[in-house]
Amino acid sequence: MKEGDADEIIVEALDLKTHFSANSGLLQAIFSANKQAVRALDGVNISIRERSVTGLVGESGCGKSTFGMTLVRMHEPTSGEIKFAGKPVTHITGAELKNYRGRAQIIFQDPYSSLNPRLTVGQLVEEPLLIHKIGDDAERAEKIARALGHVRLPAQEYLHRYPSDLSGGQRQRVAIARALVMEPSFIVADEPVSMLDVSVQAGVLELLETLSRQLGLAVLYISHDIATVGYICDRVGVMYLGKVVEEGPTLSVLNEPLHPYSERLLAAIPKVDTNATRNRVEMSGEVPSPLNVPPGCRFSTRCPHATDLCRTKEPELVEVKPDHSVRCHLY
């Protein structure tokens, strides 16, 4: 696609739900009358365009990782639909699923445990190609060199080194190269820099953004570090207890959050500027358990503005500002 054309939607989630069974034992499964479910992901709509980075933020346990893993079909969705390049991939199996997994890749948080310490960088990057039976030796060597080039690790220098020789940032680059070698059109980056030192985070973030622009990749960037989201994301979604409560252009969401939860989340971030005074907002209570989702608005148990309507009727996602939607009865 040429520059300037409207970028196509690569991945789309429609009312996607992933529930996990919470009945732990056999006896419980047989005798328990009402089956309990952990509603980790409870109806999420998101579309991710090519050449763009979409951010997803929220507290731990809000379902953001489950969403990423469901999109690449590491979890089986309970209901809803995932569309990839316009075609449904929600329930594909076998060769079709394998093919999809080649096109939709995921990068994990911890580059210290996601790379096999006994394989060299070259072998690590080659592994996905072998699994998918792609190319002969020469073709593979070329693809590996290209992938390592994309992450700016010169092949001649790094091909035969082991993960133990590499810094955290370099390891995460290898993990990204492993994803890129399959020439995917969609990448889920699940907290890719949270294990890295501040001084090297910047390099990996900048790399993700550049790759998205250069290769036309659709990237879902999952993070609890909201400040980093501001640097690389075009759009951002805020998740709370399995649902996206606010979604819009990054600057609009970060500067003028609409949902009371987003407001509190943003107010909790400490500022480097020592002159700035920040109003700390106390938030009552803890995140409710996804086993026992409150009726009505999910945030109503902790929201200072909650009314009876909030406690009974679940709000719909409404567009309040251009392209900026929120799930709240206040709007």
How many residues in the shown chain lie near another protein by CB under 8 A? 48
Pick the closer one to another protein by CB: 225 or 319.
225
**Number of neighbouring beta carbons within 10 Å of residue 147:** 24
Sole binder of another protein in the list 87, 118, 152, 213 (CB under 8 A): 152
Binding mask 197-236 for another protein (x = CB under 8 A): xxxxxxxxxx-----------------xxxxx-xx-----
Q: How far is the CB of 9 from another protein (least distance, A)?
A: 25
Q: How far is the CB of 57 from another protein (least distance, A)?
A: 9
Q: How far is the CB of 205 from another protein (least distance, A)?
A: 6
Residue owning tokens 């090297």: 200
Q: Are strands 318-321 and 9-21 parallel, antiparallel or unpaired?
A: unpaired
Residues 233-252 that bind another protein (CB under 8 A): 250-251
Pick the closer one to another protein by CB: 51 or 64.
64
Residues 155-194 that bind another protein (CB under 8 A): 167-170, 173
Q: How far is the CB of 153 from another protein (least distance, A)?
A: 6
Q: Which two tokens stand for residue 207?
A: 């790399």
Q: How far is the CB of 33 from another protein (least distance, A)?
A: 25
Task: Please calculate the CA angle 143-144-150 and round it to the nearest 5 degrees.
Answer: 90
Q: Is 34 helix (H, G, I), strand (E, B) or coil?
A: coil
**Number of neighbouring beta carbons within 10 Å of residue 67:** 28
Sole binder of another protein in the list 6, 86, 156, 280 (CB under 8 A): 280
Instruction: Specify the DSSP element, H or E, that contains 319.
Output: strand 318-321
Sole binder of another protein in the list 34, 93, 156, 274 (CB under 8 A): 274
Binding mask 75-104 for another protein (x = CB under 8 A): ------------------------------
| DSSP secondary structure of 80-134 | EEEEETTEE-TT--HHHHHHHHHHEEEE-S-TTTSS-TTS-HHHHHHHHHHHTT-
Contact flag: residue 1 with another protein (CB under 8 A)? no
Q: How far is the CB of 269 from another protein (least distance, A)?
A: 6
Contacts of 146 (CB under 8 A, 6+ apart): 181
Closest C-alpha to 53, from 269, 263, 206: 206
**Cβ–Cβ < 8 Å for 64, 56:** yes
Pick the closer one to another protein by CB: 8 or 209.
209
Contact flag: residue 319 with another protein (CB under 8 A)? no
Separation between Cα atoms, residue 6 and residue 118, nearest integer Å = 44
Contact flag: residue 271 with another protein (CB under 8 A)? yes
Contact flag: residue 14 with another protein (CB under 8 A)? no
Contacts of 25 (CB under 8 A, 6+ apart): none
Q: How far is the CB of 95 from another protein (least distance, A)?
A: 38
Residues 97-136 that bind another protein (CB under 8 A): none
Contacts of 3 (CB under 8 A, 6+ apart): none
Q: Which residues bind to another protein, rule: CB under 8 A?
A: 59-60, 152-153, 167-170, 173, 197-206, 224-228, 230-231, 250-251, 254-255, 264-275, 278, 280, 282-283, 286-287
